């Protein structure tokens, strides 16, 4: 049976648009507020939620997510908060996945982690620093729990390797738009569409593009060629600037609305 995430892509493809995927670290800025923030994101039109596992050494993340993760950890966020927020997100009826560096998953026990994601109703796990060479065990554990295994590929990934990695992905393939860390950019790198083209020549799995997308125009542009648009740092920035009170939540919803228009106007 397809996961909720896979069903979402069937639906958005039938609507001839891209899906909007929003990212938030669990427990940012506090666990209670993170629940309100994802609700605002969903109310504004985010189609799927990525719950970040805040980690002490996030080498793929720029300053915005680093600061958010640090704040979440210092406010006590850990594995319990990740699954609590995942359940909350699933409860809103949107497909939800966990994004985590490998260290916390391995420490928890990867089989147990896959089972917990499944029990919480999660669709899958994005593993940004897990290479396919190191993940045979994980793939079987995730398959056993019928959850998606989402790997990140980059513009530097060779065609040969791209075919190998994407053949192990399910749910969607996470295409990093550029060589770099997470964070808003003024323009979305031209490498992104070239990478998506290369992926499509060897895979039929849906492709979502992340890194650097922060506004309606960029969402629209990426939606013209990708099946999904991932936005993270831009949501966090709103909260860092406006707090998670009424005004911050309102601005979060407005950003989601604007991005949601973007993913509908790309084609």
Partner 1 sequence: MANDKVLQSMESNILGHFGPYGGRFVPEALIAALDELSAAHISAQSDPSFQAELLELHKTYSGRPSILTDAKRFSEYAGGAQILLKREDLNHTGSHKINNVLGQALLTKRMGKKRIIAETGAGQHGVASATAAALFGLECVVYMGEADTKRQSLNVARMKLLGATVVPVTQGSKTLKDAINEAMRDWVTNVETTHYLLGTVAGPHPFPTMVRDFQRIIGVEARQQVLDLTGRLPDAVLACVGGGSNAIGIFHPFIDDKSVRLIGLEAGGSGIETGLHAATISGGTPGVLHGTRSYVLQDKDGQTIESHSISAGLDYPGVGPEHAYLNDIGRAEYRPVTDDQAMYAFSLLCKSEGIIPAIETAHALAGALEIGNELGKEAILLINLSGRGDKDVQTAAEYFGMPL
List interacting residues with partner 1 (CB under 8 A).
Answer: 55-60, 62, 66, 70, 73, 78-79, 102-108, 128-131, 133-134, 151-158, 161, 165, 176, 179-181
Q: Considering the complex, what minimum distance in angstroms separates the CB of residue 153 from partner 1?
A: 5
Q: Considering the complex, what minimum distance in angstroms separates the CB of residue 242 from partner 1?
A: 24
* Residues labelled catalytic: 50, 61
Residue number with CB closer to partner 1 (129 or 261)? 129
Residue number with CB closer to partner 1 (155 or 266)? 155
Distance (Å, rounded) from C-alpha 69 to C-alpha 50?
14
Q: Considering the complex, what minimum distance in angstroms separates the CB of residue 160 from partner 1?
A: 11
Distance (Å, rounded) from C-alpha 219 to C-alpha 106?
34
SS3 for 182?
coil
Residue number with CB closer to partner 1 (168 or 217)? 168
Output phi, psi for 151, to 5 deg. -100, 160
| Sheet strands side by side (includes 124-126) | 148-150, 124-126, 96-99, 48-52, 19-25, 228-231, 207-210, 173-176, 152-153
Residue number with CB closer to partner 1 (39 or 154)? 154
Q: Considering the complex, what minimum distance in angstroms separates the CB of residue 267 from partner 1?
A: 28
CA–CA distances in Å: residue 200 to residues 60, 170, 172, 175, 229: 24, 14, 12, 11, 16
């Amino acid at each position: 049976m397809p996961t909720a995430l896979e069903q979402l892509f069937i639906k958005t493809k039938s609507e001839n648009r891209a899906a909007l995927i929003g990212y938030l670290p669990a427990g940012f800025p506090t666990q209670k507020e993170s629940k309100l923030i994802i609700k605002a994101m969903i109310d504004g039109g985010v189609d799927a939620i990525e719950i970040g596992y805040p980690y002490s050494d996030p080498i793929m993340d720029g300053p915005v997510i680093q600061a958010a993760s640090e704040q979440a950890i210092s406010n006590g966020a850990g594995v319990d908060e990740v699954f609590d927020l995942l359940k909350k997100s699933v409860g809103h009826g949107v497909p939800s996945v966990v994004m985590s560096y490998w260290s916390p998953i391995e420490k928890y026990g990867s089989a147990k982690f896959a089972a917990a994601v499944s029990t919480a109703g999660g669709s899958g796990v994005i593993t940004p620093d897990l290479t396919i060479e190191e993940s045979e065990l994980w793939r079987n554990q995730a398959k056993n729990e019928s959850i998606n295994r989402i790997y990140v590929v980059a513009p530097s990934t060779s065609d040969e390797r791209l075919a190998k990695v994407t053949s192990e992905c399910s749910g969607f393939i996470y295409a990093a738009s550029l060589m770099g860390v997470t964070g808003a950019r003024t323009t979305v790198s031209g490498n992104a569409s070239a990478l998506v083209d290369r992926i499509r020549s060897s895979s039929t799995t849906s492709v979502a593009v992340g890194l650097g997308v922060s506004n309606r125009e960029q969402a629209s542009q990426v939606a013209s060629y990708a099946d999904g648009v991932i936005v993270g740092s831009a949501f966090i920035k709103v909260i860092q600037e406006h707090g998670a009170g009424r005004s911050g939540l309102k601005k979060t919803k407005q950003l989601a609305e604007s991005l949601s228009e973007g993913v509908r106007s790309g084609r």
